[in-house]
Amino acid sequence: MKKPLNGILFIEPPFYRLFKETDSLNRYPFSLGYLAGMVRRETDWRIMVYNADFYPKSETILVKHMAGLGFDSYLKNLKDLSAPVWGEVKSVISEYAPAVVGITTKSQNFASAINVAKLAKELDERIKVILGGPHVCMVGAEVLKYHEVDICVLGEGERTIVDLLRAIDADKGLEGIPGIIYRESGRIVRNQAREFIEDLDSLCFPHESAGEVLKDYAQYPPAAFSYIFATRGCPYNCFFCGSRNIWSRKVRFRSPDNVVKEIKELRRKGLRSFCFEDDVFGVTRKYLYELCNALIHHCPGIKWDCEIHVKLVDEKTISLMKKAGCYSIRLGIESGNNEILRAIGKGITIEEALAACKIIKKHGIVLHAFFIVGFPQDTVETLKDTVEAMKKTRCDLLVYSIFTPYPGTEAFEYCKKHGLIDDNYDPSLFNHQSPANCFCVHIAPKILRSMVSKIERKVDRRNKANRFKRIFSKNTIWRMQEAGIGGSLKKGLKIILFR
């Protein structure tokens, strides 16, 4: 009788759903797509990808909800393993009966990931629980203090997971597998580091196997599969970012031909709009121009958005990106004060950032501007500068965050040095909208919370106004006036939209 195939269940832990059941991560978890593709290509293991943070009939996630009553629900659900979301997780694991559960984790959902590991072990102690993702890369062996976790994967996991599954199949030890930390006979073993994958074109496209491996695939919106990586790595050195702990500062590039091939496959599935998830789109003008020219010649008619560094923005570059189909750009500005920008290693000035915003808007591209409030070095005055900069960007969407120190970053060590973090720091309590966040040397917690609450209201009001603005364009208001609709309505709309 043929031995049944072993199964691996990849899981994205719930996070948004802990705030509210109908909040949802409406996308195919990118990293798990890459891992599943490689396992499917290189082994004969059964595979399922389960996004436990997906809810089919989701609602818009509001900043004020995550910072208000939603945060209380989050804390309650995180501690209560009888909550419905955990019942669902347990049921999926039980029904699939995997030999291995692989969990991806970021700092903010690490506690949730540990809950998933506990549920797996409760169901079957023999299940191998493997953790990977950004948080694991930043803290390493600390994760293994949780006995529900058997193995940690550091760095890129595509080749490591294949090696691990082959070792499990052959009932071999793990000592020869680079890129992992594991527990053996009561001690922690850290193997040698795994080299980064130089040829990114050798990887599977993350979405090509989604129909076969993703749980509830048919219930996902088409946009859930529209995400693309063209590069890995970021050459910049922002002190709050952990990207270099995962990818390093050396950038590796997929060939433009390989990116084009992936987009063509997604177009055959009906997609016409895409999102580049690179830390910095293009990274160098040379590669950016090569990629945009390839898109112009081989993928006419597509639309895409990306995040770009202020230093890359100029008339020629933005014009070419627009011609290649770029309709929306995310720009990390972070602070409106130059002293803070220097302190956090951003490498830009607010004047350069505002000039970049003007160029982007001049070319008719939708602009999302990222700001962070409450840096450790912030003062009441520098926060006021940030609020002023928010107004001056004239962006279409303000993406606002409260500073959160991630373990393993320079910012985290700075906070520890200045007594803002102690040894009991729990990353599950802090996310970019958490009311618990207060890591300022110069601003008292009550004053910061008061300022942040006002900023939150302004951001929500500004973003709502911009949504109205897109619906009721100036032409719409003009047509209403021509049709004889009251001038008071026109005046009222202008007050809402353009104040």
What burial class does residue 465 get, using C-beta atoms within 10 Å of its C-beta: 0-12 exposed, 13-18 middle, 19+ buried?
Answer: middle
> Rounded CA gap, 423 and 84, in Å?
32
> Rounded CA gap, 472 and 478, in Å?
10
Q: Which residues form the domain of 474?
A: 453-499
Q: What share of the chain in percent tops pLDDT 90?
A: 76
**Of the candidates 372, 403, 434, which is a domain's last residue?**
403
Q: Which residue has the higher pLDDT, 148 or 477?
A: 148
List the beta strands (DSSP E) in 202-300. Answer: 227-228, 231-232, 252-253, 273-276
Helices of type H across 43-109: 63-67, 69-79, 84-96
Looking at the structure of the chain, the number of domains it has is 3
What pLDDT digit, counting tens, does each position of 41-55 carry?
A: 999 999 999 999 999
Longest dimension (CA), the chain: 82
The pLDDT value given to residue 495:
31
Q: What share of the chain in percent tops pLDDT 70?
A: 90
**3-state DSSP helix/strand/coil percent for the chain, to nearest 5?**
45, 15, 40
Q: How far apart are the first and last CA of the chain?
A: 74
The pLDDT value given to residue 389:
97
Give the count of beta carbons closer than 10 Å to the beta carbon of residue 200. 18
> Rounded CA gap, 119 and 105, in Å?
16
CATH of the domain at 258: 3.20.20.70
Report whether pLDDT(466) > 70. yes
Is 206 a domain residue? Answer: no
Is 438 a domain residue? Answer: no
Mean pLDDT of 317-344: 97
Contact 174, 151 (CB under 8 A): yes
Report whether pLDDT(437) > 50. yes
Is 382 a domain residue? Answer: yes
Residues 343, 251 share a domain: yes
The average confidence (pLDDT) of the chain is 89
Is 416 a domain residue? Answer: no
What pLDDT digit, counting tens, does each position of 344-374 carry?
A: 999 999 999 999 999 999 999 999 999 999 9
* 498, two tokens: 């353009």
Residues 280, 159 share a domain: no
